[in-house]
Chains A and B, each alone.
Chain A
């Protein structure tokens, strides 16, 4: 199956700062999602973005499928953005049902 690497593993931001989280894939993916796991453990869907760019409020994401990476942008960060951000993708062929997760980026936004 595919391998997913996320960077950075940890990130501390001052409230109001911007950040970029990166996700690299070992092989092509036909399904890519970004999730936010809040401090209560809930996994919240942020983006379904196999390719292209999407925006939702202060968050946006870009996936460049041909170069096997995706970026999540957080602008004007708030303390409620704290938590762990996961990207996950499905490969093609055998194992394509499996959504493979990266190990996450732990974001802490301090006032």
Chain B
């Protein structure tokens, strides 16, 4: 276990409502990532962070925002959830950006109805 906790683990929400997913790490790793997993697409990067208050967009960032006010917490917000954002969301951490191993949390299953 890489010391990554995602919350909630499951959530059902209505279209148009805001949703925040939390990733908490106990490893003091600098880099944190949010991915989504959809059938036929594998895992795709939404946003990542390379330090407190330092974030950047990934491949599928539209409709999502992130914040990192502390090293250990990385929040993913869906400002106004849509059905296309129904997915499984994974948080990941790594010590460096490129040449190190990444570890994943257990995932959050989000359903937007």
Contacts and interface: CB of A to CB of B under 8 A. Distances in A.
A33 B41 CA distance: 18
A55 interface: no
Contacts of A50: 99
B88 A97 contact: no
A30 B99 CA distance: 6
Contact of B43 (A30, A31, A88, A97): A88
A96 B31 CA distance: 13
A8 to B, nearest CB: 15
Interface stretch (A12-20, A58-66, A73-81, A99-107): A99-107
Nearest to B50: A97
A98 interface: yes
Interface string A8-37: 000000000000000000000011010100
Contacts of A31: 98-101
B98 A43 contact: no
B112 interface: no
Contacts of B31: 97
A42 B107 contact: yes
Contacts of A96: 97-98
Given A30-B98, A31-B98, A90-B98, A97 B42 contact: no
Contacts of A86: 42-43
Nearest to B107: A41
A98 B50 CA distance: 12
B56 interface: yes
Interface string B89-107: 0101000011111111011
Interface of B: 31, 33, 40-45, 48, 50, 56, 58-59, 88, 90, 92, 97-104, 106-107, 109
11 contacts: A30-B98, A31-B98, A31-B99, A41-B88, A43-B107, A92-B98, A96-B98, A97-B56, A99-B33, A99-B43, A101-B44
